[in-house]
Amino acid sequence: MPNILIRSVDILTLDDRGTVLTDADIAVSGGRIAAVGRAPSDFRPDETVDGRGKVATPGFFNAHTHAPMTLVRGWAEDLPLDRWFNEKIWVAESALEEEDVRWGAYLAAAEMIRSGTVGFADHYFWMDRVAEVVEEAGLKATLAWCVFGLGADQEIGGTTLARTVEFVRRWQGAADGRIRTVLGPHSPYVCSPEFLAQVAATAAELGVGCHIHAAESQAQVEASLARHGATPIGHLARLGILDRPAIVAHAIYVGPGDSETLAEKRATVVQCPNCHMKLGMGTTRVPDLLAAGVNVALGTDGTASNNNLDMLEEARLAALAQKHDRRDPEVLAGDLPLRLATQAGARAMGFADSGVIAAGRPADLVLWDFNRPHLRPRHNLVANLLHAARAGDVTDVMVDGRWLLRGGELQTLDEERILWEAERRAFRMVGSELKQVRAYRL
């Protein structure tokens, strides 16, 4: 790996003290940050980057998404959750092919890199194809092959739990440690208790966690109480799904004791504010979860419900949603939303060293061009980034000391081919004979 010196850049370290440095250097060596502030006099860079007018931040970690669903961006609009699933998403996915997953993931990877994301937690089908894209793109990822446990005729590609176990073993630690794998049961409202217990036992045997959706609506909570005598979170805990650190997507409706359970089990709750607003789902009670000691991260969900993969937008909306709902401008203040979008997601995904700019940490960095009218004057760099910057202000992205985006140009992906192939496959998919293979019912 080359030695890289970024000179005279302003830095949002996102460390525990909220340190902001101006006109500082970042020295990168061996894929890690060698120094922050001033480069050592004996540091010999192979490449020197002029950071004047730019701001460096840790890269974003998208803690819950469905990358290949870029192919159905804009396909399911202005619908409640049940109709969104039953009339659009699960119907369109009946025509999904394995190569669609590859090209949808390519499109997502290009979008994520361009908007400053360095890692993502994905939950979808035919995940070998997603893993191959991650390896080529240079991103970090924690990958879960989604399984419903309803029988092969209702599974995409006829997958089984055994097949997902093979995937976990095949890709764990691949791409020089940039790929991690977990199990991906869909949700407690689709998966039977017996199947979830089997997944939990398998996760324990493999030594991995789970990535699952839960507590997305009050109706789900009421159905769980009626059927299982426990909230969705309590139900998952009782079955052992939370025995190893899990990623729990959404968790908007957590009942009495649920926050404490999530904290005790070291689970991560992922708020997806854009998706939650768009589908009218509600707002995850982030301040309460944080107060209980729960790791809360941010995600985009898939582009079918968002409709983008812009983590800066998620951080902004996370802050605004809490301030609005609680009528309290002091909630989720300062750089906290940015830390939820970086280090909290990295922690959830098993990349706990990332998400902070400090010596010894992985060189997962983003450079933003602050020579823009909407980013001046620079009274407060954190506020400017969180509330005024745009994904298009990203100029450079680095993962483990390797450039994925340099001067606004993708370094690892063929963007022109991706755009053409993804568009072609998206229209083939929704233009096919579609059918409903399963139903969202409570």
- Would the pLDDT of 433 be above 80? no
- CATH code of residue 166: 3.20.20.140
Tokens of 230: 């426990």
Section 414-418 average pLDDT: 98
221 shares its domain with 296: yes
Lowest mean pLDDT among 91-105, 148-162, 337-351: 148-162
Q: Is residue 422 part of a domain?
A: no
Q: Which residue has the higher pLDDT, 175 or 434?
A: 175
What does 150-187 look like in DSSP terms, one character per residue?
Answer: S-GGGSGGG--HHHHHHHHHHHTTHHHHTEEEEEEE--
Q: Which amino acid makes up residue 373?
A: P
Q: Are residues 191 and 231 in the same domain?
A: yes
- The reply to whether omega before 3 is within 30° of 0 (cis) is no
Least confident range from 50-54, 73-77, 123-127: namely: 73-77
Is residue 328 assigned to a domain?
A: yes
Beta strands in 128-280 (DSSP E): 140-147, 179-185, 211-214, 247-250, 268-271
pLDDT in tens, 92-107: 888 899 999 999 999 9
Residues 15-70 have pLDDT tens digits of 999 999 999 999 999 999 999 999 999 999 999 999 999 999 999 999 999 999 99
Q: Is the domain of 77 the same as that of 54?
A: no
Distance CA 263, CA 294 (A): 5
300, 368: one domain: no
How far is residue 332's CA from residue 336's CA, in Å, rounded to a whole number?
6
Q: Which element (helix H / strand E) includes 212?
A: strand 211-214
Nearest to 342 by CA among 320, 359, 358, 329: 358
Taking a C-beta distance cutoff of 8 angstroms, is the pair 86, 439 a contact?
yes
End-to-end CA distance of the chain: 52
The tokens for 276 are 């939650």
pLDDT for 284 equals: 94
Reduced to 3 states (helix: H, G, I; strand: E, B; else coil), residue 12 is: strand
Using one digit for the tens of pLDDT, what is the confidence trace for 265-318?
999 999 999 999 999 999 999 999 999 999 999 999 999 999 999 999 999 999
Do 164 and 269 share a structural domain?
Answer: yes
- Output 160 or 364, whichever has higher pLDDT: 364
Sort strands 268-271 and 394-399 into parallel, antiparallel or unpaired. unpaired
Res. 152 pLDDT band, cuts 50 70 90? low
Closest listed residue to residue 143, CA positions, set 181, 98, 183: 181
pTM of structure: 0.97
pLDDT (average), residues 4-17? 98
Give, for 340, the enclosing helix (H) or strand (E).
helix 336-341
pLDDT, position 434: 66
Contact 134, 412 (CB under 8 A): no
Range of the domain at 146: 60-349
Residue 180 and residue 301 in one domain: yes
DSSP three-state, residue 91: helix
CB atoms within 10 A of CB 273: 27
Question: What pLDDT is attached to residue 85?
Answer: 86
Q: Do 265 and 384 fall within a single domain?
A: no
Last residue of a domain, one of 349, 369, 401: 349
Residue with tokens 């879960």: 144
Q: Which two tokens stand for residue 32?
A: 């890690």
Residues 194, 339 within the same domain: yes
Q: Is residue 303 a contact partner of residue 69, using CB atoms and an 8 Å limit? A: yes
Q: Which residues contact 405 (CB under 8 A, 6 or more apart)?
A: 113, 114, 394, 395, 396, 397, 411
Q: What is the tally of structural domains in the chain?
A: 2
**Mean pLDDT to the nearest integer, 223-249:** 98
Query: Hey, is 6 helix, strand or coil?
Result: strand
Residues 249 and 360 in one domain: no
Report the percentage of the chain scoring pLDDT > 90: 90
- Based on the fold, state whether residues 252 and 366 are members of the same structural domain: no
pLDDT value, residue 442: 62
Inter-CA distances, 429 with 41, 49, 262, Å: 57, 43, 38
| Most distant CA atoms of the chain, gap in Å | 67
In a domain, 92, yes or no: yes
Radius of gyration of the chain (CA): 21
Position 175 scores a pLDDT of 99
Confidence grade of residue 435 (pLDDT, cut at 50, 70, 90):
low
Count, residues in the chain: 442
Contact 34, 376 (CB under 8 A): no
Regarding whether 64 and 19 lie in a shared domain, the answer is no
Pair 281, 81: CB distance under 8 Å? yes
